[in-house]
Structure 1
Amino acid sequence: MENNHFSMFAFHPVLLEAVERLQFYQPTEIQRQVIPAALNGKSVIGQSHTGSGKTHAYLLPLFNQIDVNKREVQFVITAPTRELAMQIHEEVKKIIHYADKDNQWFAKLLVGGTDKQKMMEKLKQPPHIVVGTPGRILDLVKEDAISLYSAKSFVIDEADLMLDLGFIHDVDQLLVRCKQDIQLLVFSATIPQRLEHFFKKYLKNPLHVKIDDKLSPETMEHRLIPLKHRTAAEVIFDITKTIQPYLAIIFTNGKELANELAASLQQKGLDVGLIHGGLTPRERKRMLKDIQNLRYQYIVATDLASRGIDIKGVSHVINAQLPKEEDFYIHRVGRTARAGMEGTAISLYDEQDLKLIEKLERKGLAFTFYTIKNGEWQEVKAWNERNLRTKTETNAEKEAWKKVRKTKKVKPGYKKKMKKQQEQIKRQLTKDTKRRK
């Protein structure tokens, strides 16, 4: 027990036992900062990227405060997607099992895509912990199947994704039905303006914990490969011949592009999985099961998979299209190189992506530029080096035109002659510039 650094927190021995069985030895940075405040009943806004250990930063202090003498809802945990809710519920079940409290601590998963009547029957005995999507929980509250008024703490996980997917109104409706002084534990990778208004409504002097994760782990490599008038499927097919991923996620910007790319790669003989918000709950469930059973080496996905679903063992992230914003790039590549593993991010790009690349470089990301020739990776010059060269040539061109002698009388073929003269002067100017350098 001595080597368990979680003993620095005021946890009950039974919970420390569960932590040891979970094989957690050192708290992560967010756990170190959030747990003491959460144990004291303080509201917290935790800002950190995926993979920082935030789930247990709120689960452990909540479990420490369960009152088994009261069979009522004590904690509510909301997540924006049913997959995320299911994954949190799995962690909840694990802690209950490892603490040997299977018949004393009760938790229920409330998500759509399941039989509502059956769920209402099961809720006649209220659970201590409710985990679910805001819409389904609200639905059951309105049906009087469950009451949240007894809850001491309320968790909003992935709050910015909640906002993006339009569920923040449902969260608002749930909080209206809770006690005014309820402890709020909010976790979000980014804090958009609209979330700040929401926080002001419900949070009184919360502790704001911001973990400045490195943009991406040290063990992460970022490769860029130009499209050059080829389709994403052609380039990705070339890439698949040169890498051996444990699991690779191929990101696209939207459902239609994901469907098209998956179909093109399948035509080329690649067995790929597909995940996006347009799949039915049953299809998504089956796909996740196949992924867990390692049926696929490649998965085509939208940004839902960069935040809303936790897929284990990702060794490569391939961006078939680069996203429009830096944060989305960070979320995507954050799926790999987790827990000390190495990872590679390969992004296809063209001219319109240069602004984003430049922004990411300014933030400290180091990209390497490659092309694939004869099944081999070949390093090429960075895009800005090429830009500089083009700029120099453009300047030389302008200067050369200035020096061209304009004739007053226009004779046949004069344009050709002037162009030839301009070319000669330009060559000379470029030579002079090189010599001076």
Structure 2
Amino acid sequence: MATARTENPAPMLMGLSKQNGQLRGQQKPAAPQSGPPGIGHPVKPPHLLQSAAPQKHGAPPNSGGIRFGDDWKKNLQLPPKDMRIRTSDVTSTKGNEFEDYCLKRELLMGIFEMGWEKPSPIQEESMPIALSGRDILARAKNGTGKSGAYLIPLLERLDLKKDNIQAIVMVPTRELALQVSQICIQISKHMGEVKVMATTGGTNLRDDIMRLDETVHVIIATPGRIVDLIKKGVAKVDRVQVMVMDEADKLLSQDFVVLIEEIISYLPKNRQILLYSATFPISVQKFMSKHLQKPYEINLMDELTLKGITQFYAYVTERQKVHCLNTLFSRLQINQSIIFCNSTQRVELLAKKITQLGYSCFYIHAKMMQEYRNRVFHDFRNGLCRNLVCTDLFTRGIDIQAVNVVINFDFPKNAETYLHRIGRSGRFGHLGLAINLITSEDRFNLKSIEDQLVTEIKPIPSSIDKSLYVAEYHSELHGQEAHDVALEEHP
């Protein structure tokens, strides 16, 4: 099997930092072995407050873009076409087009330049309802396009003649806030002066207060920070049209629910609320009955497991885990991997071990300074390192297309955490591999999670067929045929 090493396994001089989360030797890490075009080419992280400058495509966007009669699509700067085979989670659509929803041309330009060719199932189901102004409770699998499902109608409904905050997107983590803000900025870049602000805890509050002196249309925020800004009177939300809750189950957990209730108390009574998540516990039902008005319910979760992800376990002792991980690295064809531990201390210890074994490695956890978390997140997302060790901080909505392997170095205790962890691979219907290191103490949790998810986590074979988790590409002419064959071979 192809090796996953990013450097030669020679003894390394480690440039370790206890703060910045980036552990690597003096050699340059190799580029990922496979994955979507563009991986390994860094892009600038999103600014916290930004409106994308109009692109030159024949005419300024807010003048109508292209002259009447022109084929405006010919002027788009499209990314390289992603020809990887996808599972039915994102391909079994009704056949709708983005143009069917009467969206502004400038918004369509941004959508297509993101590489989004057609709506995914969750986008087909929820976009027309969201555009109508009705509340939504939507349940869909990780990595199937939930961000686009709420950002597209949110941007379509903005009135740029008004200078007030019109939409709030609530997310549970800082990394997800930055990711969503970047997507929002990119798809709105042809719309003119759309002002997008990301605000999270751990950053300078004074900077956020100064930014809110200027026009802001869309705020993407974590709950604690937006409550602070509202109470200080600088984030005026009395004219907000829509509030989105991404990863709603986490936002309605004990950690956040009091803050969420407080935020809603400041919103106008006729606001729209959109809830999106992969799992919906009882807390969501209570919230829905209290705050949502005749919500439209969408459930695309007939089964909890992810179709494109193959799951294995390796039965080991605690002392054998690092050796087992080293064996996996040497035998798997890893594009990028995320390795989960159950505590921040174990994250740093394991990251150091991995570096000593001769592999480049980043780590990230909640106790790191925010500026280092941001740098690790963006550098890993842009393909500068192959392996990332983290806590469950990284399980919520983080979309890194190149990740094809997830390893649970420490096995989670519940099915919900397990589902979100393995959902970091196989994004947007692509193939992925989840490997679980199981000790004798974990065997009961393994059985419980299998029962709850109605799935089978199989013993790891001596050799894993790379076609189960390494991207396969099909031609334009035979795309659907290749896709159908792939599903028959790996249902």
- Take 2:175 and 2:461, find their aligned partners in 1: how far apart are those partners? 37
Letter in 2 for 1:237: N
Match of 2:357 among 265, 268, 276: 268
Any residues of structure 2 matched to 1:13-24 within 5 Å, and which? 13-24=105-116
Contact 2:249–2:283 (CA<8 Å) still a contact in 1?
no
- 2:394 counterpart of 1:305: yes
Task: Provide the residue aligned with 1:296 in structure 2.
Answer: 385
Contact 2:122–2:146 (CA<8 Å) still a contact in 1?
yes
Q: SS at the partner of 2:334?
A: coil
Going from structure 1 to structure 2, the CA distance change for 1:260 and 1:60 (only over 3 Å counts) comes to same
Going from structure 1 to structure 2, the CA distance change for 1:38 and 1:93 (only over 3 Å counts) comes to same
Contact 2:107–2:191 (CA<8 Å) still a contact in 1?
no
Letter in 1 for 2:284: L
Match of 1:56 among 140, 145, 148: 148
Contact 1:4–1:20 (CA<8 Å) still a contact in 2?
no
Q: SS at the partner of 1:27?
A: coil
* TM-aligned CA deviation for residue 247 of structure 1: 0.6
Match of 2:133 among 41, 50, 75: 41
Instruction: Encode CA deviations 1:14-55: one digit per residue, 9 max, x unaligned.
Output: 323332332322211111111111111100111123212111
Task: Provide the residue aligned with 2:375 in structure 1.
Answer: 286
Which sections of structure 1, spanning at least 5 residues, go unmatched? 379-437
- Take 1:96 and 1:218, find their aligned partners in 2: how far apart are those partners? 32
Q: Of the two structures, which has the highest relative contact order with CA contacts closer than 8 Å and spacing of 6 or more?
A: 2
Going from structure 1 to structure 2, the CA distance change for 1:214 and 1:192 (only over 3 Å counts) comes to closer
Q: SS at the partner of 1:241?
A: helix
- 2:262 counterpart of 1:178: no
Task: Provide the residue aligned with 2:179 in structure 1.
Answer: 87
Task: Provide the residue aligned with 1:133 in structure 2.
Answer: 222
* TM-aligned CA deviation for residue 361 of structure 1: 4.5
Any residues of structure 2 matched to 1:82-231 within 5 Å, and which? 82-97=174-189, 100-103=190-193, 105-164=194-253, 166-212=255-301, 214-228=303-317, 230-231=319-320
Between stretches 137-146 and 4-13, larger displacement belongs to 4-13
Task: Provide the residue aligned with 1:323 in structure 2.
Answer: 412
Q: SS at the partner of 1:315?
A: strand
* TM-aligned CA deviation for residue 206 of structure 1: 0.8
Instruction: Encode CA deviations 1:167-209: one digit per residue, 9 max, x unaligned.
Output: 2222211110111121001112222223322222211221111
Task: Provide the residue aligned with 1:370 in structure 2.
Answer: 460
- Take 1:48 and 1:371, find their aligned partners in 2: how far apart are those partners? 31
Q: SS at the partner of 1:7?
A: helix
Task: Provide the residue aligned with 2:101 in structure 1.
Answer: 9
- Take 2:111 and 2:143, find their aligned partners in 1: how far apart are those partners? 18
Letter in 1 for 2:402: G
Task: Provide the residue aligned with 1:414 in structure 2.
Answer: none
- Take 1:130 and 1:304, find their aligned partners in 2: how far apart are those partners? 21
- Take 2:443 and 2:272, find their aligned partners in 1: how far apart are those partners? 44
- Take 2:220 and 2:450, find their aligned partners in 1: how far apart are those partners? 39
* TM-aligned CA deviation for residue 371 of structure 1: 6.2
- Take 2:276 and 2:263, find their aligned partners in 1: how far apart are those partners? 17
* TM-aligned CA deviation for residue 126 of structure 1: 3.0
Q: CA RMSD, aligned part only?
A: 2.5
Between stretches 349-358 and 30-39, larger displacement belongs to 349-358
Going from structure 1 to structure 2, the CA distance change for 1:4 and 1:23 (only over 3 Å counts) comes to farther
* TM-aligned CA deviation for residue 111 of structure 1: 2.0
Match of 2:162 among 70, 73, 91: 70
- Take 1:12 and 1:287, find their aligned partners in 2: how far apart are those partners? 36
- Take 2:353 and 2:158, find their aligned partners in 1: how far apart are those partners? 52
Contact 2:175–2:398 (CA<8 Å) still a contact in 1?
yes
- Take 2:310 and 2:108, find their aligned partners in 1: how far apart are those partners? 37
- Count of residues in correspondence between the two structures: 372
Instruction: Encode CA deviations 1:286-341: one digit per residue, 9 max, x unaligned.
Output: 21133134332211111221215333310111111221112222211111122343
Q: Which has the larger radius of gyration?
A: 1
Going from structure 1 to structure 2, the CA distance change for 1:40 and 1:229 (only over 3 Å counts) comes to closer
Which sections of structure 2, spanning at least 5 residues, go unmatched? 1-70, 74-94, 466-491
Going from structure 1 to structure 2, the CA distance change for 1:213 and 1:16 (only over 3 Å counts) comes to farther
Going from structure 1 to structure 2, the CA distance change for 1:29 and 1:132 (only over 3 Å counts) comes to same
Contact 1:79–1:156 (CA<8 Å) still a contact in 2?
yes
Going from structure 1 to structure 2, the CA distance change for 1:27 and 1:213 (only over 3 Å counts) comes to farther
- Take 2:129 and 2:318, find their aligned partners in 1: how far apart are those partners? 54
- Take 2:415 and 2:355, find their aligned partners in 1: how far apart are those partners? 30
- Take 1:96 and 1:220, find their aligned partners in 2: how far apart are those partners? 32
Any residues of structure 2 matched to 1:399-418 within 5 Å, and which? none
Letter in 2 for 1:53: G
Contact 1:47–1:187 (CA<8 Å) still a contact in 2?
yes
- Take 2:400 and 2:172, find their aligned partners in 1: how far apart are those partners? 16
Instruction: Encode CA deviations 1:111-139: one digit per residue, 9 max, x unaligned.
Output: 23333223222212331211111211121
- Take 1:43 and 1:78, find their aligned partners in 2: how far apart are those partners? 15
Q: SS at the partner of 1:231?
A: helix
- Take 1:368 and 1:360, find their aligned partners in 2: how far apart are those partners? 13
- Take 2:315 and 2:400, find their aligned partners in 1: how far apart are those partners? 28
- Relative to its length, the structure with more helix (as a share) is 1
TM-score, normalization by structure 2: 0.70
Contact 2:169–2:244 (CA<8 Å) still a contact in 1?
yes
Going from structure 1 to structure 2, the CA distance change for 1:343 and 1:213 (only over 3 Å counts) comes to farther
Contact 2:198–2:219 (CA<8 Å) still a contact in 1?
yes
Letter in 2 for 1:137: I
Q: SS at the partner of 1:230?
A: helix
Q: SS at the partner of 2:319?
A: coil
Contact 1:223–1:345 (CA<8 Å) still a contact in 2?
yes
Q: SS at the partner of 2:279?
A: coil
